[in-house]
A and B are shown apart, each in its own frame.
Chain A
Amino acid sequence: MPYKILDKKELAMNEVWYKVHAPHVAKKVEPGQFVIVRAFENGERIPLTPVEWDREEGWITLITFIRGKTTMRMANELKPGDEILNIAGPLGNPAPMKKYGRVLAIGMITGIVEVFPIAKAWQEFGNDVTTLHVSPNPMVILEEKFEKAVSRHIVEGFDLQPGWGMNEIAGELVKRAVAKVRELLESEHFDMVLTVGPAGAQKAVFNVVKEFGIPMHADLHPIMVDATGMCGACRVTIGGEVKFACIDGPGFDAYKVDWDELIHRIGFYAPMERLAMEHYMKALQGGEQ
């Protein structure tokens, strides 16, 4: 069933915002849940997170980081007034709503998108929430919204150096995240930590948090296909047991996650994803017939 794009903006470098009419999701979605988007007839099903929504007006907003073929095609080909073929959801479990006390919610690069609804709801629920966005400076987003929604919002930005590829960015991201989290945990008391972002960076942050013994909740991003629990693509090992992130998660106790397995599984299709991207770029360069 097609869903109309009401508005679209480029928020920052490679970060695209869509406002979409999807009343079935808007009516039900809770912080921590996600949707599956299939944007094109021959397209993939990809998980994305509703950032804001209006139950009455029936819209949700999505923010995508242009990462591979699907997110790039969406950015290039979809414009306001167009339709997204499928938006299924809401999927996954809502984040637990509890009074933790002082919370540190960390979003790395586009991970900050998923932190937003959860951090906002936790603050409204009576927690004292500090949010931390670790990101390359040109990709910093949602600053004003965070400043309104939580007690304190910190941006740990870094500049991109000429010639950097994904590996260098990931390296710098981990370095910055680890240092900043250590600094915060050494100087202040926190009762709960949340992370969303690339799995490698989540693992590095977890290793710091673990030293302080603070409870930690991690939203995981394994590869998903149906996201209704029928394929097992998203399986993760949690406390020695196999779980399906789409229906048992996506949030889990960070202390129980088998991080190395997750990192391996997420990277499995990288060569094919590159191929898909090259195929697309070639088609673009070939021009439209």
Chain B
Amino acid sequence: MAVKRKLIKERVPTPERPAEERVKDFGEVNLGYTFELAVKEAERCLQCPANYAPCIKGCPVHINIPGFIGKLVEYRDDPDRAVKEALNVIWACNSLPATTGRVCPQEDQCEMNCVMGKVGDKINIGKLERFVADYARERGIDEELLFEIVPKIEKKGQKVAIIGAGPAGLTAAGELAKLGYDVTIYEALHEAGGVLMYGIPEFRLPKSIVESEIDKLRKLGVRILTDHIVGKTVTIEELLEEYDAVFIGSGAGTPRLINAPGVNLNGIYTANEFLTRVNLMKAYLFPEYDTPVYVGKKVIVIGAGNTAMDAARSARRFGAEVTIAYRRGPEDVSARIEEVEHAKEEGIKFEFFINPVEFIGDENGKVKAVKFEKMKALEERDSRGKRKIVGTGEYVTIEADTVIIAIGKHPNRLIVNTPGLKVERGRIVVDENLMTSIPGVFAGGDAIRGEATVILAMGDGRKAAKAIHEYLTKKRENGNA
């Protein structure tokens, strides 16, 4: 344990493709660590004891971070073994590390508290997590481990329906399948993955990674019914007749629009429509792929979250000049830091303290400019700790032939209209076990939180799987008694 280490202050960098090259395609931006580099970075970790380690406390699902990092160093002479051991530690809490390693806001979670920050750079936990998952996937170590830890699944003879194949639903499905339940996922779209598939672009999260996660679920015996819209194709009531429990992971898919004149002009997209066309339907390969998308010469993206960055950087890859317009200031940008930095490197402009009040169209009903009111920040803060903003009565008009609205989303409406399902402000209400107002129906992820994060959705999926397991165990015992 008490090995003397010398402090290495600087992070081992991960190679990235240069901005001028990557804006020409949708290939991944960050190339990740090799085993050697990963070990070098892992060696910087101080191995804080698990009961103290601030990184673990900062992680929403409490991954034993020094634990997995330590395995890379411990078994450095046998890379496959090192990765397998590390993956095993991660999997105890997180089933989608290749994804979360790429998309978690580490700077606000595990890495925020890292003690190395006091003397130098914090440990690059996200990239290490990603490395472990990627290396394991590329070598088939993940499947090997999967079938070692679930040697033979003992069938419980009970059936669970999962609504939605996003991170919440996929995680719940995987955990329940491992516990021996017969799991069926109902997914509205033609592909599973939720936002990971239709929202987050290829250059940030390659779709082959999501597909490999889904493939593993299938191997665990999970059945996925795409093209099934719960609330239309089948109701929750009907599912309860066929299944012993139901989990709702339908996400927050309804885009918020701006209540300003001209919002339905041509050339104005919600980020969801724009990203769905680009990612799910692969409009960047048009006309090889049939779905078109219109990206003009000057694009304005409204909002400053992850969705806005993804939309802006996607539009940039079509060769457009892109401006992000945000009504607050730089300190309130909610996107991951890495994405904001990448966006800047790729030449995306940021305009702060402007709020759209009107979309101006040409004679063909197509947008040509956006009128904004200039805003200013007050000292007073709102409930989320952001400085309040007010209009100044001054306006500025910016030309644009494409506008993408990325100001947030509400939970999916089709589900929320289920009779007997308690909903507040569009969100499904759950108890501490994630059970909804309908007995046997559980929910998690963005459907209960509104727009949140992949890791929270995944955490909910796990927690719900546990709660469902308890619920069904009782049901089984009562049934047998």
* Residues in A lying within 8 Å of B, measured CB to CB: 1, 24-25, 28, 36, 38, 40, 42-45, 69-70, 85-91, 225-226, 228-233, 235-237, 242, 247, 258, 260-261, 264-265, 268-269, 272-273, 275-276, 279-280
Contact = CB atoms under 8 A, between A and B. Distances in A.
A221 B255 CA distance: 20
Nearest to A280: B287
A42 B229 CA distance: 22
Interface of A is mostly: mixed
Given A44-B290, A230-B254, A264 B266 contact: yes
A88 B227 contact: yes
Interface stretch (B16-24, B274-282, B437-445): B274-282
Interface in B217-276: 225-229, 232-234, 253-255, 257, 263-264, 266-267, 269-270, 272-273, 276
Interface string B137-166: 000000000000000000000000000000
Given A24-B228, A264-B266, A38 B287 contact: no
A264 B412 contact: no
Contacts of A229: 253-254, 412-414
Contacts of A279: 287
A265 B268 CA distance: 10
Interface string B288-319: 11111010000000000000000000000000
Q: Is the interface of B mostly helix, strand, loop or mixed?
A: loop
The residue among B225, B287, B413 with the most chain A CB atoms within 10 A of its own CB is B287
Contacts of A70: 290
Contacts of B12: none
B227 A230 contact: no
Contact of A45 (B190, B234, B272, B413): B190
A189 to B, nearest CB: 36
B292 A45 contact: no
Contacts of B270: 231-232
A69 B414 CA distance: 31
Contacts, number: 126
Contacts of B269: 232
B229 A88 contact: yes
Interface centre among B269, B276, B291 (most CB of A within 10 A): B291
B233 A230 contact: no
A102 B227 CA distance: 37
B292 A273 contact: yes
Given A229-B412, A231-B272, A232-B257, A43 B229 contact: no
A52 B11 CA distance: 64
Contacts of B254: 229-230
B281 A265 contact: no
Contacts of B480: none
A88 B272 contact: no
A226 B276 contact: yes
B365 A89 contact: no
Contact of B190 (A86, A236, A269): A86
Contacts of A258: 264
A1 B188 CA distance: 11
B280 to A, nearest CB: 8
Interface in B10-58: none
A276 B234 CA distance: 35
A282 B229 CA distance: 37
A87 B190 CA distance: 8
**10 nearest CB pairs, A to B:** A264-B365, A230-B253, A272-B292, A231-B273, A88-B227, A279-B287, A86-B190, A44-B290, A232-B270, A268-B266
Contact of B290 (A43, A86, A233): A43
A275 B433 CA distance: 53
Contact of B273 (A232, A242, A260): A232
Nearest to A228: B188
B128 to A, nearest CB: 34
Given A87-B227, A261-B365, A264-B266, A225 B413 contact: no
28 contacts: A24-B227, A24-B228, A24-B233, A42-B282, A42-B285, A42-B290, A44-B281, A69-B290, A70-B290, A88-B227, A88-B229, A88-B233, A89-B227, A89-B232, A91-B232, A225-B277, A228-B412, A228-B414, A229-B254, A229-B414, A232-B255, A242-B257, A247-B414, A260-B365, A264-B266, A265-B266, A268-B266, A269-B294
Contact of B233 (A25, A69, A226, A231): A25
A90 B232 contact: yes
Contacts of B412: 228-230
Nearest to A234: B273
Nearest to A28: B233
Contact of B272 (A24, A91, A232): A232
Contacts of A86: 190, 226-227
B294 A242 contact: no
Contacts of A44: 281, 290-291
Contacts of B288: 42
Given A24-B228, A268-B267, 20 more contacts: A1-B225, A42-B289, A43-B290, A45-B291, A69-B290, A85-B190, A86-B190, A86-B226, A90-B233, A91-B229, A225-B291, A226-B188, A226-B276, A228-B188, A229-B412, A231-B270, A232-B270, A261-B264, A269-B294, A272-B294
